[in-house]
Copies of this chain bind each other. A is one copy, B any other.
Amino acid sequence: MKIAEVIGKVTLSRKHPSLDGARWLVAIPLKSDELNSKKKKKTEPFVIYDELGASPGCQIAVSEGAEAAAPFHPDVKPIDAYVSAILDQVEVY
C-alpha cells in the first residue's frame, strides 16, 4: 500500500451513479525522506475514497487497483484507490 498524505478534498459535479454519497480526499504519495518531515515535493496527487474520516495532514495507507474495490464486493464500483488505514506511527530504522 502506498503511504500518502492528505492535502485536500474534491467535490464531484457529474459522476458514475455508484459513487454517490462518498467522501473524496486528495492525497500525494510520500518519498522515504518525507515520511517524518514537513517538506513535500510536488508530485502526482490522486483522488481517494475515504470511509475512515482521515483529516488534512493525516498519513494514510492507500490500496490501489482491484484491491481498492474489494471492500465493496460483490457490488461493482469504478474505485481504484481506497484509504485502508490511517497511520499512527511510521518507525524508520
Q: Which residues of A contact B (CB under 8 A)?
A: 1-3, 7-16, 18-19, 24, 26, 28-33, 35, 42-48, 52-53, 56-57, 61, 63-71, 73, 76-82, 84-93
A14 pairs with B53, CB closer than 8 A:
yes
* Bound form: Cα–Cα A63–B66 in Å: 11
Q: Which residues of chain B have C-beta atoms less than 8 A from A92's C-beta?
A: 7-8, 26
Are B10 and A89 in touch, CB under 8 angstroms? yes
A60 vs chain B, min Cβ distance (A): 9
CB neighbours (8 Å) of A3 from chain B are 10, 26, 45-47
Q: Decide: B1 and A47 in contact? CB cutoff 8 A.
A: yes
A41 to chain B, nearest CB (A): 9
